[in-house]
Chains A and B, each alone.
Chain A
Amino acid sequence: NAGVTQTPKFRVLKTGQSMTLLCAQDMNHEYMYWYRQDPGMGLRLIHYSVGEGTTAKGEVPDGYNVSRLKKQNFLLGLESAAPSQTSVYFCASSYGLAGVSEQYFGPGTRLTVT
């Protein structure tokens, strides 16, 4: 039981490049989330999904897109990376709603945009 895994662990991008971050969970959770963590700002929700084939915007969705084609996977895409997107990205999943159920977090992806 691997829990929540994220690929890659580190990435450096040039401004304007694109990339996709992959999140996978093996706990059969319905809900999945993408957060970014920046110093002094806590975690901020980018996008989330309440089930396979669904996505919704969080607090800071601009510049990101997501897809949930399979229940176990949640992809986060950056179409044209900007230095402001330099951050640590965390994926999480939960059995029920985030506000009621505990979330399980992946180890994070450290992204630097130059």
Chain B
Amino acid sequence: AQSVAQPEDQVNVAEGNPLTVKCTYSVSGNPYLFWYVQYPNRGLQFLLKYITGDNLVKGSYGFEAEFNKSQTSFHLKKPSALVSDSALYFCAVRDANFGNEKLTFGTGTRLTIIP
């Protein structure tokens, strides 16, 4: 079975400060990991993914995420937060060792950047 946890429902960060949105996962085999962002009244938008290769993945809008196999984590980071980064962020995982096409999404973390 595959699962993903986002331990924080809400994260508040001052504008200009670094931000981190946490994600941990559980799979039997190797993970494929994704981050999506949802702005109000919109569908989800892809930010970045880890399939294989470098543990540090760079994505859209200056975001990056670090894959840590020993800690089974894939935290989303940005060095300097913008007010426009305020949104709902979802982590998702798929177990690469199983043939299903299903992604499992986390429950989401609401990020608020305070001016």
Contacts and interface: CB of A to CB of B under 8 A. Distances in A.
Task: Decide whether A and B are members of one complex.
Answer: yes
Interface of A: 4, 31, 40-45, 48, 50, 56, 58-59, 90, 92, 97-100, 102-108
A70 B52 CA distance: 34
Contact of B107 (A42, A99, A102): A42
B105 A99 contact: no
A42 B44 CA distance: 11
A71 to B, nearest CB: 17
A99 B96 contact: yes
Most chain B Cβ neighbours within 10 Å, of A42, A50, A56: A42
Interface residues of B, number: 22
Contacts of A90: 43-44
Given A31-B101, A42-B108, A100 B44 contact: no
Contact of B43 (A41, A98, A102, A106): A106
A102 B102 contact: no
B105 A42 contact: yes
Interface in B7-52: 32, 34, 36, 41-46, 49, 51
